[in-house]
A = this chain, B = another copy of it.
Amino acid sequence: MHIAAASTMKHFFLIIFFFCFFFFQEPQAGPIHPHQLTHPLDPLTKQEITLIRTIVLKKYPTKTYTVHFHYVGLDDPEKSQVLKWVFSGTPTPRNAFVIAMINTETHEIIINLRSSNILSDKIHNGNGFPTLTVEEQTEAIALPLSYEPFINSVKKRGLNISEVVCSSFTVGWYGETKSRSRVLRIECFMKSGSDVNIYVRPINGIIILANIDEMKIVEYNDRSMEPVPKAENTEYRASHMKPPFGPKLHSFATHQPQGPGFKIQGHTVSWANWKFHIGYDFRAGLIISTASIYDVEEELQKPRPVLYRGFISELFVPYQDPTEEWYYKTFFDAGEFGFGQSMVSLEPMHDCPPHAHFLDVYGTIMWRHTETGIPNQEIRESRSDVSLIVRMVVTVGNYDNVIDWEFKTSGSIKPAITLSGMLEIKAVEFKHKDEIKKDQHGTLVFENSIGVYHDHYYIYHLDLDVDGVDNSFLKTNLKTVKVTDKSSKRKSYWTIETETARTESEAMIRLGTSPSELAVVNQNKKTSTGNHAGYRLVPALPVHSLLTEDDYPQVRGAFTNYNVWVTPYNRTQKWAGGLYVDQSRGEDTLAVWTQQNRDIENKDIVMWYVVGIHHVPCQEDFPIMPSLSTGFELRPTNFFERNPVLKTLSPNYVEWPKCTKP
> In whole angstroms, what is the CA distance A75 to B265 when docked?
63
Interface presence of A542 (CB below 8 A): yes
- Inter-chain contact A320/B493, CB cutoff 8 Å: yes
Interchain nearest-CB distance for A382 vs B (Å):
4
Interface presence of A300 (CB below 8 A): no
- Inter-chain contact A249/B648, CB cutoff 8 Å: yes
> In whole angstroms, what is the CA distance A573 to B131 when docked?
59
Contact among B191, B378, B527, B531 with A8 in the assembled complex (CB-CB below 8 Å): B378
With A379-B196, A382-B351, A384-B350 known to touch, is A368 a contact of B431 (CB < 8 Å)?
A: no
> In whole angstroms, what is the CA distance A443 to B618 when docked?
45
Interface presence of A117 (CB below 8 A): no
> In whole angstroms, what is the CA distance A622 to B642 when docked?
5
Residue picked from A9, A320, A360, A431, most chain B C-beta under 10 Å: A320
- Inter-chain contact A491/B365, CB cutoff 8 Å: no
- Inter-chain contact B373/A328, CB cutoff 8 Å: no
- Inter-chain contact B373/A397, CB cutoff 8 Å: yes
The stretch that binds B, out of A58-66, A280-288, A341-349, A591-599, is A341-349
Contact among B248, B344, B353, B434 with A380 in the assembled complex (CB-CB below 8 Å): B344
- Inter-chain contact B626/A366, CB cutoff 8 Å: yes
Give per-residue flags for A378-391: 1 if the beta carbon is below 8 A from chain B beta carbons, else 0. Answer: 11111111100000
Contact among B250, B381, B626 with A360 in the assembled complex (CB-CB below 8 Å): B250
Complex interface residues of chain A between 209 and 255 (CB less than 8 A to chain B)? 233, 236-238, 241, 244-255
Interface presence of A86 (CB below 8 A): no
- Inter-chain contact B540/A541, CB cutoff 8 Å: yes
The stretch that binds B, out of A22-30, A92-100, A121-129, A414-422, is A414-422
- Inter-chain contact B247/A409, CB cutoff 8 Å: yes
Interchain nearest-CB distance for A76 vs B (Å):
28
Give A173's nearest chain B residue, CB to CB: B489
Contact among B479, B489, B529, B626 with A431 in the assembled complex (CB-CB below 8 Å): B529
- Inter-chain contact A646/B494, CB cutoff 8 Å: no
- Inter-chain contact A253/B246, CB cutoff 8 Å: no
Interface presence of A608 (CB below 8 A): no
- Inter-chain contact B258/A250, CB cutoff 8 Å: yes
> In whole angstroms, what is the CA distance A443 to B373 when docked?
24
Contact among B6, B371, B400, B410 with A378 in the assembled complex (CB-CB below 8 Å): B6
Residues of B within 8 A of A457 (CB): none
Interface presence of A482 (CB below 8 A): yes
> In whole angstroms, what is the CA distance A350 to B645 when docked?
14
Interface presence of A444 (CB below 8 A): yes
> In whole angstroms, what is the CA distance A316 to B146 when docked?
68
- Inter-chain contact B6/A327, CB cutoff 8 Å: no
Residues of B within 8 A of A531 (CB): 433, 443-444, 618-619
Interchain nearest-CB distance for A441 vs B (Å):
6
Residues of B within 8 A of A491 (CB): 547-548, 550-552
Chain A interface main SS type: loop
Interface presence of A453 (CB below 8 A): yes
Complex interface residues of chain A between 414 and 466 (CB less than 8 A to chain B)? 418, 420-422, 431-434, 439, 441, 443-447, 453
> In whole angstroms, what is the CA distance A495 to B320 when docked?
7
Residues of B within 8 A of A378 (CB): 6, 8
Interface presence of A372 (CB below 8 A): yes
The stretch that binds B, out of A43-51, A177-185, A574-582, A653-661, is A653-661
- Inter-chain contact A328/B489, CB cutoff 8 Å: yes
Interface presence of A376 (CB below 8 A): yes
- Inter-chain contact A421/B368, CB cutoff 8 Å: yes
Complex interface residues of chain A between 542 and 599 (CB less than 8 A to chain B)? 542-544, 546-548, 550-554
> In whole angstroms, what is the CA distance A439 to B370 when docked?
32
Residues of B within 8 A of A273 (CB): 246-247
- Inter-chain contact A447/B363, CB cutoff 8 Å: no
- Inter-chain contact A241/B369, CB cutoff 8 Å: no
Complex interface residues of chain A between 512 and 555 (CB less than 8 A to chain B)? 512, 515, 517, 527-531, 536, 538-544, 546-548, 550-554
> In whole angstroms, what is the CA distance A483 to B548 when docked?
10
Give A378's nearest chain B residue, CB to CB: B8
Contact among B260, B517, B639 with A616 in the assembled complex (CB-CB below 8 Å): B517
Residues of B within 8 A of A530 (CB): 432-434, 444
> In whole angstroms, what is the CA distance A285 to B316 when docked?
44
- Inter-chain contact B9/A372, CB cutoff 8 Å: yes
Interface presence of A644 (CB below 8 A): yes
Contact among B354, B482, B493, B540 with A653 in the assembled complex (CB-CB below 8 Å): B354
Residues of B within 8 A of A40 (CB): none
Residues of B within 8 A of A381 (CB): 236-238, 347
> In whole angstroms, what is the CA distance A536 to B626 when docked?
14
- Inter-chain contact B368/A347, CB cutoff 8 Å: yes
Interface presence of A259 (CB below 8 A): yes
> In whole angstroms, what is the CA distance A650 to B247 when docked?
10
Residues of B within 8 A of A250 (CB): 256, 258-261, 357, 360, 651
With A165-B374, A410-B620 known to touch, is A447 a contact of B253 (CB < 8 Å)?
A: no
> In whole angstroms, what is the CA distance A517 to B441 when docked?
16
Give per-residue flags for A389-420: 1 if the beta carbon is below 8 A from chain B beta carbons, else 0. Answer: 00001010110101000000111100000101
- Inter-chain contact A368/B400, CB cutoff 8 Å: yes
Complex interface residues of chain A between 92 and 138 (CB less than 8 A to chain B)? 138
Interchain nearest-CB distance for A146 vs B (Å):
14
- Inter-chain contact B418/A347, CB cutoff 8 Å: no
> In whole angstroms, what is the CA distance A368 to B478 when docked?
41
Interface presence of A88 (CB below 8 A): no
Interchain nearest-CB distance for A33 vs B (Å):
28
Give A543's nearest chain B residue, CB to CB: B515
Interface presence of A147 (CB below 8 A): no
Interchain nearest-CB distance for A481 vs B (Å):
8
7 A-B residue pairs with Cβ-Cβ distance under 8 Å, sorted by A, are A6-B372, A175-B489, A250-B260, A252-B362, A254-B255, A385-B627, A622-B642
12 new A-B contacts, CB < 8 A, other than A350-B365, A368-B420, are: A5-B372, A8-B375, A198-B374, A244-B296, A253-B255, A453-B495, A491-B548, A492-B547, A531-B618, A539-B541, A656-B657, A657-B662
